[in-house]
Amino acid sequence: MNIRDRLKKHQNKRWYYFLDQLICGISEDEVTAVGAQLTYYLILSIFPFLIFFLNILSYTSIAQEDVFNGLEMLLPLETQILLQNIIDEIVYSSSDTLLSLSFLLTLWTGSLGITAIIRAINKAYNVKKKRPYWRLKAIAIIFTIALALLLIIVLAMLVFGEIIGNNIFGLIGATDLFIHLWELMRIIIPFISMIIIFALLYKFSPAPEEGLNLKISHTLPGAIFTTIGWIMASMIFSYYVNNFGKYSKTYGSLGGIIVLLIWLYITSIMIVLGGEINGAYAATMKNTGINECKDEDE
């Protein structure tokens, strides 16, 4: 008797139904292929976003060279070096024209990635109805801006949080208690922001269809998984690359790019998996057979 047959003894239980829906959803919706597609769009959009973000920083007193300070646990060292070199080039070639172009490029390439996510989430919920192109593009652009703001919030809290805190507390003369509280908020604010943005993304991605009435509470499981899963996976991957991975020896000067691609692929998989978890959760709550698995022998 194999594992599947043993588990079938519990097929009347909700947890079994959820796992069954999740596993078949991951298989039938080609999560790994969608993750690869999303990685391609992320790599196209990340550099225009960096140009846009760094040009904005040029109008502040914050040092652009310190952008990745504080992200050591999430970004592997080789990726930090690669991006730092790009940042150095951007810093010395920034301009208002470059700011405008980078903003438009970020919107366009980012919206392509969000469109891929929306389609993946529709698959997870087994939604057949399609939106008009203009409406799909509008939603994609809105969430591209939202995710860009989220990334700015994360960078602001993790990277520049100490500088911001020192300036604020220097003006109001805060006590040590407020300073320690701010250090905690630097972690909590990005964490909560990520959960909210992903919950909204999972809620508004599926096209309106009869019988599908999603609430924020229904999309929280996937949003929480994506947030925690991405943080944990990034930390583990960063630790592995920094201590055991020898990508520079295998790929030479392309080592940093390969590491960046793998990290973006992990990010993509986590986002798509969050949608699959919500799809399986919705099926379990309604017990209607969303993502019904096909028998392997058929």
**pLDDT exceeds 70 at position 102:** yes
209 vs 18, residue with greater confidence: 18
Query: What digits encode the pLDDT tens for the residues 24-69?
Result: 888 888 888 888 988 888 888 877 777 777 766 666 555 555 555 5
Distance CA 247, CA 253 (A): 9
Enter the tokens of residue 41.
């769009």
User: Average pLDDT for residues 240-264, to the nearest whole number?
Assistant: 78
User: Average pLDDT for residues 134-139, to the nearest whole number?
Assistant: 88
User: Average pLDDT for residues 267-289, to the nearest whole number?
Assistant: 83
Distance CA 296, CA 298 (A): 6
User: Average pLDDT for residues 239-257, to the nearest whole number?
Assistant: 75
pLDDT band at 265 (very low <50, low <70, confident <90, very high): very high
Distance CA 222, CA 203 (A): 10
Q: Considering just the CA atoms, what is the radius of gyration of the chain in Å?
A: 21
Query: What digits encode the pLDDT tens for the residues 200-234?
Result: 999 988 887 655 778 888 899 999 999 999 989 98
**pLDDT exceeds 70 at position 123:** yes
Query: What digits encode the pLDDT tens for the residues 142-187?
Result: 988 888 788 777 777 766 666 666 666 666 666 666 667 777 877 8
Distance CA 18, CA 276 (A): 11
Largest CA distance in the chain: 71
Query: Could you tell me what percent of the chain has a pLDDT over 90?
Result: 11
Q: Structure pTM?
A: 0.79
Residues 125 and 282: beta-carbon distance below 8 Å? yes
Question: By 3-state DSSP, what share of the chain in percent is helix, strand and coil, each rounded to 5?
Answer: 80, 0, 20
User: Average pLDDT for residues 271-277, to the nearest whole number?
Assistant: 92
Enter the tokens of residue 279.
């799809």
Q: Is the dihedral of CA 195, 201, 204, 205 positive or negative?
A: negative
Looking at residue 297, its pLDDT comes to 42
Looking at residue 221, its pLDDT comes to 92
Residues 259 and 247: beta-carbon distance below 8 Å? yes
The amino acid present at 153, given as its one-letter code, is: I
218 vs 99, residue with greater confidence: 218
